[in-house]
């Protein structure tokens, strides 16, 4: 079963990669194709990890290399799905976390590459998370709704203040919707931990990028990846971290 879930992660990763390319371009879901010449990839290249392993990760038409993002996403989801199976086994929690992980991976791709957190992703994700809260063990729907409200409210206020201080683009509506989604899936009180982790990681990475001059104060830094990281850490190890911090 562990091997099956690792392979499932590979396949889901390939699907998320294609969504990450098609959705920002406002295309209907297409077959995997070369982004440079548009040639459809053969079936054996739809999942990029095997193609990389045999050193055939090149477009069969123009010779362009498959982007490194593709195998990284596939490997990341394989590891995540394998870990989720080990941690939760056959359960409702496992099924929900598999979906949440795929959604967060898609958000990570589009925000890093395009600085976009798409409504076509977030609205269905928020609706799914709310409905799922009625079936989530150990998370009453009222606690999930409270978490969503806290996440939304905190980032909405941050977006308003950021826009007033730094102008448009400091924090976007996509970040606010993502925070609401994170709040729904973590619930109250863990949403507070997720937000604190997001702020700590965001401040640390931003400071590092500024100190190394990889980014300047004028350069935008996508905040979605920090929210995704905070959500994943909280979902997997939220209560142990809280107990360690408090006691």
Digit-coded pLDDT (tens) for 202-235: 888 888 887 887 766 566 677 889 999 999 999 9
Lowest mean pLDDT among 84-88, 192-196, 203-207, 224-228: 203-207
Q: Is residue 191 part of a domain?
A: yes
What is the per-residue pLDDT for 191?
A: 94
Domain residue limits at 211: 133-247
Nearest CA among 225, 237, 3, 230 for reference residue 117: 225
Q: Is residue 178 part of a domain?
A: yes
Q: Is residue 51 part of a domain?
A: no
The residue with greater pLDDT, 165 or 187, is 187
How far is residue 90's CA from residue 33's CA, in Å, rounded to a whole number? 35
pLDDT confidence bin for 122, thresholds 50/70/90: very high
Q: Angle formed by the axes of helices 190-211 and 141-166, to 10°?
A: 30
pLDDT at residue 2 is higher than 80:
yes
* Number of domains comprising the chain: 1
Q: Is residue 172 part of a domain?
A: yes
Q: Is residue 72 part of a domain?
A: no
Of all residues in the chain, the percent with pLDDT exceeding 90 is 54
Q: What is the mean pLDDT of residues 39-43?
A: 87
Q: Is residue 74 part of a domain?
A: no
Nearest CA among 119, 113, 247, 96 for reference residue 186: 96
Q: Name the average pLDDT for the chain.
A: 88
How far is residue 116's CA from residue 173's CA, in Å, rounded to a whole number? 10
Q: Is residue 234 part of a domain?
A: yes
Q: Is residue 50 part of a domain?
A: no
Predicted TM-score (pTM) of the model is 0.91
């Amino acid at each position: 079963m562990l091997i099956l879930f690792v392979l499932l992660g590979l396949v889901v990763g390939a699907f998320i990669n294609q969504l990450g390319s098609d959705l920002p371009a406002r295309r209907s879901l297409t077959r995997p194709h070369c982004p440079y010449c548009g040639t459809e990839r053969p079936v054996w290249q739809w999942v990029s990890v095997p193609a990389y392993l045999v050193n055939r990760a090149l477009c069969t038409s123009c010779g362009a290399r498959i982007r490194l993002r593709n195998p990284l996403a596939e490997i990341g989801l394989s590891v995540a799905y394998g870990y989720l199976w080990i941690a939760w086994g056959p359960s409702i929690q496992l099924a929900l976390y598999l979906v949440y992980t795929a959604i967060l991976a898609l958000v990570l791709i589009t925000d890093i590459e395009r600085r976009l957190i798409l409504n076509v992703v977030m609205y269905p994700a928020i609706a799914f998370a709310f409905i799922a809260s009625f079936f989530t063990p150990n998370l009453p729907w009222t606690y999930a709704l409270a978490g969503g409200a806290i996440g939304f409210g905190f980032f909405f206020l941050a977006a308003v203040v950021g826009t007033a201080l730094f102008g448009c683009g400091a924090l976007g509506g996509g970040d606010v919707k993502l925070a609401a989604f994170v709040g729904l899936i973590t619930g109250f009180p863990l949403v507070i931990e997720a937000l604190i982790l997001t702020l700590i990681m965001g401040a640390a990475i931003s400071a590092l990028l500024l100190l190394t001059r990889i980014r300047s104060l004028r350069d935008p830094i996508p905040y979605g990846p920090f929210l995704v990281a905070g959500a994943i850490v909280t979902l997997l190890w939220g209560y142990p971290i809280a107990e360690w911090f408090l006691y």
